[in-house]
Structure 1
């Protein structure tokens, strides 16, 4: 029986190489495919909620619609997504078998700076708990510092859903 007291949350970020402007191919392609991916996400049965934003190097969060212009010389921002899933299988289905997400991410994979460590984190949250993109960022920083724990884990180191409260 599925425990509905907890939900699976994922947070991921991407940092493209180069400057964060429309002259950068990654930024152009990424911003062009996002509306299609978001539309598919809205229709996907296993996804309950998703949010997106851009975290500047100074810690300021911007929405996707006002991420540009990005101050020249500020350094690359993190383009972030956080989502609530019905479970791990739903996350995997959308991410690896979906119509728009897999081909879009394959196209962009070689243009991502992965030098800062993990860019994807999972955790189980009580259904009543609310959270922000900054909370997701903090979970990712926890993962980078401590590795997979019950608080923050990865697809390669999954943690079981907590028992009902």
Structure 2
């Protein structure tokens, strides 16, 4: 500690010494603080915050499962956007470029949401994201469901490939 109990880099703020803090009017104000630990390694369990503060909530298995399904679907949509072909040949170049740009922005935004969810370090979220990307690639990007011949050249997607 330096300078009368102040923490370095806190700009003159000193940490509270007890849950009771003086609110400036002479009376004490009880400070209620939620103790949510930020994990920096993978962990198993349903008590995690994913994407939004307080979501899915602690001790709520149903909301945790809903969060996993949400992350799975986001990853699936990212793969669909990465492999879909919505722009028809001969379309207006300006309109096609705007649609392509909108699809690109949507794909990148959803991919970042999946990445931020994985950064919760919850192993279930990680597995849901990987499973969503994997199933999405199987259905939309692999040759399993591609009925067209691979000997003819064709554009497989309106968007450039994602890079890590």
TM-score by length of 2: 0.23
If asked which structure has higher relative contact order (CA below 8 Å, sep 6+), I would say: 1
Q: Indicate the structure with greater helix content.
A: 2
Q: Computing the radius of gyration over CA atoms, which structure comes out larger, 1 or 2?
A: 2
Q: Which has the higher strand share?
A: 1
Could you state the TM-score of these two structures normalised by the residue count of structure 1? 0.23
